[in-house]
Amino acid sequence: MKLQAAVLGTGQTHHTTRRTDVSIAGLCREAIDRAMADAETSWDQIDAVVLGKAPDLFEGVMMPELFLADAIGATGKPLLRVHTAGSVGGATGIVASSLVRSGVHKRVLAIAFEKQSESNAMWALSINPPFTMPLGAGAGGYFAPHMRAYIRRSGAPQHIGAMVAVKDRRNGSRNPFAHLRQPDITMESVQASPMLWDPIRMDETCPSSDGACAMVIGDVAAAKASSRPVAWIHATAMRTEATFFAGKDHVNPQAGRDAAAALWKDAGITDPLKEIDAAEIYVPFSWFEPMWLENLGFAPDGTGWKLTEAGDTEIGGRLPVNPSGGVMCSNPIGASGLLRFAEAAMQVMGRAGDHQVPDARKALGHAYGGGSQFFSMWVVGAAPLA
């Protein structure tokens, strides 16, 4: 039996290439201070802290949760570190929600960050161990072949990748926290950008960002005590599979399908395309929008691109996808998943500002990580699940 829980408030940094004015601690704290204010919560009300970030090699700090304990308000309280590669932000939100939904804690702070400027993620993701072919070429190099496979399998026209990039970057221009804000981007400019990892062009990839995201999750009493709308957590799901195994479907991974099926069932949703009002989906390369639309069950296999092409994923469409601009506009890797979860909450709380989807009542937050092996997702609603 799971108890009800809600997102009381969220906070994030102004994501950018280099935040050289703050330390990692200061970066986290900026997001936390905003989340605590948004949640009308003081430090003495926080029972536990959950921290997520991507691999330690990204900043070269082993177990950063130790030196961050004071900055994230964890001293003297339970502190959990979560690590599921790029999906870690989503997993961080889910772990924090579990601590409340199990009845263990009343209010839990979730914080996730990445300060990519302290390192080089492309390098960190291309380590060549002995006895292997030295072919690693970062995340883009890893995923590009699978996007080519998607295009072949689905028959998607080549311009879909550019369409997603234009939509997300224009959405990002409405989001004051987004790293890339490009209101004037066009199909032509995206298609003229350099081909980095064929079939991925420069403008079809996410940026490298410094940034953090935080949220406070509370129990029913905390939610009812809030003077502002909260985001009720209707369901969460996480699933995992190996990076490589014979028969792995890299385009439409089984773990993602299974997580989505469990999520919709627990949230009482039978027709996600109809019932979800806004979706924040982890799309670090534009082609992942149609791929994940299928994996999540918004569209039958091979047809996700048709939603994109029809404009259904724009704000005002049938299923606005990444109204915040998403990972395509801001990618502080460890925080990116929690940002998806927070942006979903902001939509149903009516606090998404200029990128608000009108009357959003139910929203999806989604993240994936590793070689499409970790999936985490949640549904939040403006009202508690009946």
Partner 1 sequence: MGMPLQAPMEISFDYTRSLGPVLGPFMTALAERRILGSRGSDGRVHAPAIEYDPVTFEPLTELVEVASTGTVLSWSWMPDPFDGQPLDRPFAWALILLDGADTPMLHAVDAGSPENISTGMRVQARWAAARTGSIRDIECFAEPGEPDEPGERVEPVTMVTTPIRLRYQHSASPQESAYLRALAEGRLVAQRCPACTKVYLPPRGACPTCGVPTEEEVELTGTATVTTFCIVNVPFPGQRTKPPYVYASIVVDGTDIPMLHLILGCPADEVRMGMRVEAVWKPQEQWGMSPENIDHFRPADEPDAPFESYAHHL
For residues 111 and 263, which CB has a smaller minimum distance to partner 1 in the complex? 111
Count of residues in the chain? 386
Give the span between the Cα atoms of 52 and 48, in whole angstroms: 14
Q: How many other C-beta atoms lie within 10 A of the C-beta of residue 217?
A: 32
Cis link prior to 130 (omega < 30° from 0)?
no
Q: Which one, 70 or 271, has the nearer CB to partner 1?
A: 70
Q: Which is nearer to partner 1, 258 or 275 (CB)?
A: 258
What is the nearest approach in angstroms of partner 1 to the Cβ of residue 198?
4
Q: Would you say 59 or 168 has its CB closer to partner 1?
A: 59
**What are the tokens at 70?**
């004071």
CB contact at 8 A, 232 and 384: yes
Nearest approach, Cβ of residue 371 and partner 1 (Å)? 12
d(CA 234, CA 254): 23
- Closest distance of CB 306 from partner 1, Å: 20
CB 264 within 8 Å of CB 270:
yes
Q: Which is nearer to partner 1, 23 or 303 (CB)?
A: 23
Residue whose structure tokens are 């092409």: 309
Written as one string, the DSSP assignment of 100-151 is: HHTTS-SEEEEEEEEEGGGS-HHHHT----TTS-S---HHHHHHHHHHHHHH
- Measured from the CB atom, is 140 or 365 closer to partner 1? 140
> What CA–CA distance (Å, rounded) separates 170 from 261?
31
Minimum CB–partner distance for residue 249 and partner 1 (Å) = 7
Taking CA atoms, 300 is separated from 248, 254, 303, in Å, by 19, 15, 6
Least distance in Å: CB of 365 to partner 1? 27
Nearest Cα neighbor of 348 from 332, 360, 366 is: 360
Q: How far is the CB of 207 from partner 1 (least distance, A)?
A: 14
| Residue number with CB closer to partner 1 (150 or 341) | 150
Least distance (Å) between residue 367 CB and partner 1: 23
Judged by CB, which is closer to partner 1: 84, or 175? 84
- Sign of the CA dihedral running 297, 341, 379, 346: negative
Least Å from the CB of residue 118 to partner 1: 5
Binding site for partner 1 (CB under 8 A): 18-23, 25-26, 29, 43, 57, 59-60, 70-71, 73, 75, 115, 117-120, 122-124, 126-135, 137-138, 140-141, 144-146, 148-149, 152-153, 194-199, 242, 244-251
